Structures are given as structure tokens and as C-alpha cells.
Amino acid sequence: MAAPFDLSGRIALVTGANTGIGQGIAVALAAAGADIAAVGRSPAEQTAALVQATGRRCLLVPADLSSIAPIQPAVDRVIAELGGLDILVNNAGIIRRADSVAFTEADWDAVIDTNLKALFFLCQAAGRHMIARHAAGGGRGKIINIASMLSFQGGIRVPSYTAAKSGVAGLTRLLANEWAAQGVNVNAIAPGYIETNNTAALQADATRNRQILERIPEGRWGRPEDIGGAAVFLASAAADYVQGHILAVDGGWLAR
């Protein structure tokens, strides 16, 4: 297989690409040759600059993924303006924390709507395009969902997040079962503890930081580029026979 990780000529839609893991994935895909559509509600100009520095195109598509209303228009715009859609990365997500005895319906719905409902309908919109293209003789489509350590573990005080990320793992397997023979690979990445703005408080807490590092065999926090490398693999021809897999990129957290 010649240059199995080369994504030249491919078009990737990445949600929540403005910072952190989403930005790391977008830049890694671009460095491997893909053009990027950054879809989300937060400005992603910095990501666009990093993508363009690799020589690839970056289309910014504003969309509030707390509802499914903007999903089909966003996918249609990416296809129209960039010329297709080969790779979907469902990274956008939110979290709400409270004891389960006090957890509100509003916090439940907000997380489920963004982290699970919007993810499914993005898969559906992209999948329809990828399946039709493959049936017409085109290449394979790649869908990569961002799961979590809580797709395997229970966690505490994040009931809707745990439910959503467990659902992401299940949907990834279901869609792989349905779409593998139709030219679409559906897999997920479960990040461990990654150095991002979202984990800044944990990193700054000396006690929690020490406890986390003691549990990670690698002995360090992950970096967004660690997730980017896994995304390049799953998006590439090297992973054409990988289906329904939840790839933990956690420094060995689950092994401990």
C-alpha cells in the first residue's frame, strides 16, 4: 500500500475545531493532506490559520449543534463549497456537572442533544452522501466519533455526559454494522486526560494532577496532537478494515 496515511484530495468536516482536541485533529488531518471544514458555534479563525499554514483549505461554517436544524445545511455547504465530503469527525460536545440526585432535566437535555442527538444526525447526513457516492463508484467514507473514558467507565456527577458517551460507543458500532458493506468506516476515539483549556483546572490542582498522573502508565497528560495522529489513522486507507472500534488514546489509563 503506497503512502497509506496520505489524505491528499480528501475533505474533512470537523465539529468543535476551534480549540483543544478538535483543533489538534483538524491540523493533523490537514498536515496529512486533507482540506478542512470547521463546523461549530465558536469562532475557529486560529484553526483556519493553522490549517492554511499546511497549504490546505479551511472553510469556517457557523452552526449551533445544540439542535439538529443547522446540520443538513452545514453538510450541504461543505459539499458545495469544498467539492465533497470524505471524512466526518464528530468532536463537538459539552458537559454539565451535578450530583445525580440534583441533576436537572435542562442539563440532561442540553448534553444529550449536543453530544448524542446532533452526533447521530451528523452521521446520518454525511453517511447518506458517502453511501451514495460509494454506490456510484467513489471511494470510502470515514466517520470518526469522539467518545470518552466514560464510554467504558461510569464516572461521577456527570450522568448525562456518561449516558451520551456510552451512547456514542453504541451508535458507532451500530452504524458500522449498517454501513461497512456500503463503503463507510465508522469508528471512535476515546481520549484520556488531554492538555486542553477544558482540563486547565485539573492540571492546576496539585493533588488531582498528581492522582491523575499516578494512574497513567505513560506518566504524562496527552496532547491534542496525540488524538490527531489517531484520527489520521482512522481517516486513512490504513484503517479500511477497521470497523466499529473504540480506540482509546489514554496513555494506558484503561490498562491500569
Considering 120, 161, 179, 221, which one is annotated as catalytic?
A: 161
Contacts 24+ apart (CB under 8 A), 232-235: 232/5, 232/7, 232/28, 232/29, 232/32, 233/5, 234/142, 234/144, 234/185, 234/187, 234/189, 235/7, 235/10, 235/12, 235/29, 235/32, 235/34, 235/86, 235/87, 235/89, 235/142, 235/144
Q: Is 161 annotated as catalytic?
A: yes
Residue spans of beta strands (DSSP E) within 113-252: 141-146, 184-191, 246-249
Catalytic residue numbers?
161
